[in-house]
Amino acid sequence: MMKGKKQKKNQGIALIITIAVITLLISTTMELNRRAGDAAEFTGVTRDRLKLSHMTSSGVNMAMALLIKDKKDGEIDSLQEEWADKESIADLLGDIPFPEGALTVEIQDELSKIQVNALVKFPDGKDFNQDQ
């Protein structure tokens, strides 16, 4: 009789251990799945960031080359030059193929802008940029 009672008590412990092991396995699997998803998302974000970095550096380098060419061609800047024409810039960007995405570049002449701060800051406003 004594053996029968001990065996029944051990069956309950085995069930609890089995449930604990299954719970541990499920939680471990879910955590690994979450980490794998995070790693995949991080990889995608890094890939996109690298592509955008290369695209922007290509656009900036193209704009710099256009401005260097303009400086060699003449000393006077006007809005009729190639660097100010959005269509000619778009044509130049068309020579740089990007499989995904599109790039737009706009070059603005900062010296052609009116110095608003020089108008409202007196007496410091009298020290404006003479080139303008």
For residue range 12-42, list pLDDT tens digits in order: 888 899 999 999 999 999 999 999 999 999 9
CA 32 to chain centre: 27
Is 127 domain-assigned?
no
Q: How many CB atoms lie within 10 A of CB 118?
A: 15
In a domain, 118, yes or no: no
Which residues form the domain of 45?
A: 10-106
The answer to whether residue 52 sits within a structural domain is yes
Determine how many CB atoms are found less than 10 A away from the CB of residue 92.
Answer: 16
Report yes or no on 112 lying in a domain. no
Read off the pLDDT of each residue in 83-112 and give the average, rounded to a whole number. 86
Q: Is residue 131 part of a domain?
A: no
- In a domain, residue 111? The reply is no
**pLDDT range class, residue 3, cuts 50, 70, 90:** low
CB neighbour list of residue 85: distance below 8 Å, 6 or more residues apart:
none
The domain tally of the chain equals: 1
126 found inside a domain: no
Average per-residue pLDDT for the chain: 83
Q: What is the pLDDT of residue 93?
A: 87
Cα(70)–Cα(77) distance, rounded to whole angstroms?
Answer: 8
